[in-house]
Amino acid sequence: MPQSFYENKAKHLLWVEATREVFYMSWPIVLGSLSYTVMEFCDKWMVAQLGTVPLAAVGSAGIWSYTMSTLLLGIVGCTGTFVAQSYGKEIWKDCSRYTWQGIYLAFFSILLAGILFLFSEMLFSWMKHSPEVTQQEITYFRIRLLGYFPMAMGSALASFFPSISKPRVPMYSAIVGNVLNLILNYLLIFGKFGFPRMEIAGASYATVISQWTQTLILFFLFLMPGLHQKFGTRTYYYFDFQRMKELIRIGIPAGLSMFLDICNWSIFTSFIVGRFGDVSLASHNVAISFMHLCFMPAVAVSIGISAIVGQWLGRREVQIAKQRVYVALALCMGYMVSMGFVLAVFGGKLIYHIFSQDPEVVRFGHRLLILAALFQAFDAINIICLGALRGAGDTRWVMWAMVINAYCLFLPLAIIMGFVLGWGALGSWIAATIYIAVLSMTLIYRFLSEKWTQIIIFSEEVPTQ
């Protein structure tokens, strides 16, 4: 056999191994994410039975509830970057130390929730939605604040397990929590089996209870003897100023980019699309729910690839890390483009049978889904590159790239196309399509430059070679 045959076979085996690793790390996170997406679909379907006003309120209040938590979630979520690279270096005790620092940061969520409760009425009054929608938004939002602490603490714990190559643990807790959420939604929204009929408030309470359940499961498993024996999860619980400082240094840009990105979508939803009426807002929220089917599995793969990149950089194997990213990118682009095609072709029927029989919501929602189908490939690039760069700790550059694209391109263009040109919500969605495409080119440029391989996240360390 010629030498080239063996070389090609060796390369093929390397790609097979890369695909196997990405699949192993990603499928449990995808399944856990899918359970959440199904739960959210059912949640909105149940709320939709109450009418267009509750559906519009849940979508807007839900995204603002998440938006206000993302700064802290982004910082705490960077726990996984440190855990993965410590795991790659085989410094087991640091995996626990960084996780505990993330848990301590989660306590700031209690203060944040208290402040937001006081200003929630002012926030939703600014949006100028109809009085009926505004009142239900405030109710839903205030209850969701009770879940801020478990959501933040759960972010630290959920980052720990994939980073030590145990991605199934968050999957189990997610499935349990989401099934519980689904059951409680049915009981509390409609008042079944002796429970009070709470309607939109019931949907919010169900979410909070499920968040506490998931976090308590993760914390219990984190302290189990098997993990304690290897990582010292019950030993290295003390506050560590040096490691906390490292986590905050890398985490703040990640938190800011996450917050400002979600914030720009929240502004887009509430202050731009929401100004075009309840039908436009309801159609927008329905389209976003369908888009979750497209990007949530890709986000799950992104979490897995972040852990993989961190581990291989910890072992100083840059080329292997890059190879895993290319595999993840190919998988996600194939999936998201396929889903986009389905939504473009069958979107109208899906809206009619799942969410709303209102002909205006069906018609306009389908048009939005056609636009969404056009940017699925670009969105896949965004999601995977963000995961890879985050695993390397390249958070500062990403923050500036996202802020400039969002606030200098996306929102101004959405206002111009929506209001100045008079194209309405559809024009604003065209602006969103352009924004996602431009952002993807920005992030893939950064990834191909390989400057992320030189990021130093630990103190007194030489760059990865």
Gap between the Cα atoms of 285 and 58, Å rounded:
9
Residue ranges of domains in the chain: 3-454
The number of angstroms, rounded, from the C-alpha of 264 to the middle of its chain's C-alpha atoms is 15
Gap between the Cα atoms of 248 and 76, Å rounded:
8
With both helix axes pointing from N to C terminus, report the angle between 3-48 and 168-190 in degrees, rounded to the nearest 10.
Answer: 20
Residue type, 44: K
DSSP state letter for 233: T
Residue 196 backbone phi and psi in degrees, to 5: -70, 145
Residues 357-412: tens digit of each pLDDT: 788 888 888 899 998 898 999 999 999 999 999 999 999 999 999 999 999 999 99
In 3D space, the residue among 206, 259, 273, 211 whose CA is nearest the CA of residue 60 turns out to be: 273
Residue 72 backbone phi and psi in degrees, to 5: -70, -40
Mean pLDDT of 138-147: 93
Under 8 Å CB-to-CB from 49, ≥6 apart: which residues?
Answer: 190
- Of the chain, the end-to-end C-alpha distance in Å amounts to 35
- Give the pair of three-digit tokens for residue 377: 């490939």
Residue count of the chain, please give it.
465
Gap between the Cα atoms of 93 and 164, Å rounded:
12
Residue 461: is its pLDDT beyond 60? no
Q: Identify the residue whose tokens are 């075009």.
A: 276
Q: For residue 356, what pLDDT band results from cuts at 50, 70 and 90?
A: confident
DSSP state letter for 421: S
Mean pLDDT of 258-283: 83
- Give the pair of three-digit tokens for residue 453: 């391989």
Residue type, 120: S
To 5 degrees, how large is the angle CA 47–CA 123–CA 143? Answer: 45
- Inter-CA distances, 60 with 101, 260, 296, 367, 384, Å: 32, 16, 19, 20, 27
Residue 8: is its pLDDT beyond 70? no
Residues 42-75: tens digit of each pLDDT: 777 788 888 888 888 887 788 788 888 888 999 9
Max CA distance (Å), the chain: 77
